[in-house]
Amino acid sequence: MNQNLTAKTFLNNILSGTATGIIIGLVPNAILAAIVKLFDNPFAEVLGQMALIFQLTTPLLIGILIAQQFKLPPMPMVVVGASAFVGSGVVKFNQKTQAFIGSGAGDIINTMLTAAITVGLILLLHKRLGSLSIVLTPLLIGVGSGTIGFYLYPYTTGITKAIGHGINFFSELQPILMCVLIACAFATLIISPISTIAIGMAIQLNGISAGAAAMGVAATTIVLILNSWKVNRSGVTLAITMGAIKMMMPNLFRKPIILIPCLITATISALPVALLNITGTPESAGFGLIGLVGPLAALEGGLNPLLLLICWILIPSAVAISLQFLLEKVLRLYNRKEVFELLD
């Protein structure tokens, strides 16, 4: 297991595992939820139900993938997954029905906190438990950390819901300004080490706030695709198209001017979100065009297909192409190859 672990590495491991777990756990239901409603037959209904059940495992997946980041052995790894699942609040006991009820994907921040506590205790105690570790690790560390997460849950969800409600409230009060700010924030975050998906889920963005967040991600995706087309290998552009946008992080840190076309595109693309009331969900907020999750959520929210095509593809593409010419050829702010060529 890890030696000489720094606080920065510990945090990065938590964030990396969380981001991957969220993608695996949420993408199937995010994509299928809108599609299965188009088909009125038993198989489509069962498929939708299976996707929902799969989504319930998101905290478990997050915990296991966080443990993997720390290179924990198999047994401690699944203990982290189980305790994260327990502490996430994805399954609750209903006093009236005397039954356990699962819904959603749990509170992401509480999932991360529970997993972090479990990993910390395993790193401190697992080897000291010796031959009893196979019994005491799940019993003391797994159940113990899950219980801590259970008691933290009401406070964590209270804070995250308050943040989400605040953002959603101001989005309704000042929709254009807030949509632009949210879109620009997520346009930046998508090529930073921070997971837009985790942030969207953690603060429970909803309505036009979620729509603006997803549009910001979509704007950066389109800018990177169009500018990568002639300066990178086709595999790099394809990977960006499929959602591997964070591979451009080195470019962000070494060539921060890359943000200029992303932010301008996000700003203009966010305007229709406010004007046409393009909505989303906490699950779709950080995905953008990845898996068509953002557009499908907007479609589910009532946006007609023609406007969906215009707002999600045509407007960002037109702005990105115009900026490509204006910033590089007219204003000569940068050379596209130097800024958008994938850096190691």
Same domain, 56 and 154: yes
Is residue 2 included in any domain, yes or no?
no
Q: Is residue 290 a part of any domain in this protein?
A: yes
Determine the pLDDT at residue 133.
Answer: 81
* pLDDT tens over the chain, length 344 residues: 555 778 888 888 887 788 778 778 877 877 777 677 778 888 888 988 898 899 899 999 999 999 999 999 999 999 999 999 999 988 888 888 888 888 777 888 899 999 999 999 999 887 788 888 888 889 999 999 999 999 999 988 888 778 777 777 878 788 999 999 999 999 998 888 677 877 887 777 889 999 999 999 999 999 999 999 889 988 888 888 877 788 887 888 888 999 999 999 999 999 999 999 999 988 788 888 887 889 989 998 999 999 999 999 999 999 999 999 999 999 999 999 999 998 76
Same domain, 298 and 187: yes
151 and 187 belong to one structural domain? no
**Predicted local distance difference test score (pLDDT) of residue 39:** 80
Domain shared by 104 and 145, yes or no = yes
As a whole number of angstroms, the distance between CA 109 and CA 182 comes to 20
Report how many domains make up the chain. Answer: 2
Please check whether residues 37 and 144 belong to one and the same domain.
yes
Q: Which of 134, 161, 188 is the last residue of a domain?
A: 161
Domain extent at residue 73: 7-161
The residue among 161, 193, 220 that closes a domain is 161
Q: Are residues 202 and 256 both part of a single domain?
A: yes
Look up residue 52 and give its two tokens. Answer: 């929902």
Inside any domain, residue 167: no
Whether residue 169 lies inside any domain: the answer is no
Report the b/e string of 38-57 with b at 16+ CB within 10 A: eeeeeeeeebbeebbebbbb
With respect to residue 150, please indicate whether it lies within any of the assigned structural domains.
yes
Task: Tell me: do 156 and 199 sit in the same domain.
Answer: no
Neighbours of 129 (CB within 10 A): 15
168 domain-assigned: no
Residue with tokens 């309505």: 207
Domain-embedded: residue 114: yes
pLDDT of residue 40: 80
- For residues 192 and 300, state if they share a domain: yes
If you search the block for the tokens 């036009």, which residue do you land on? 208
Whether the model pTM is above 0.85: no
Dist. CA 21–CA 18, nearest whole Å: 5
The answer to whether residue 331 sits within a structural domain is yes
- List the one residue out of 309, 333, 336 whose CA is nearest residue 226: 336
Close Cβ partners of 227 (under 8 Å, ≥ 6 residues apart): 261, 320, 324, 336, 339, 340
- Domain edge (last residue) among 139, 161, 183: 161
Is residue 183 located within the same domain as residue 323?
A: yes
Neighbour-count burial of 24, counting CB atoms closer than 10 A to its CB (0-12 exposed, 13-18 middle, 19+ buried): middle
Same domain, 15 and 145: yes
Residues 195 and 319 in one domain: yes
* Separation between Cα atoms, residue 320 and residue 226, nearest integer Å: 7
Whether 110 and 39 share a structural domain:
yes
Query: From start to end of the chain, where are the E strands?
Result: 91-94, 99-102
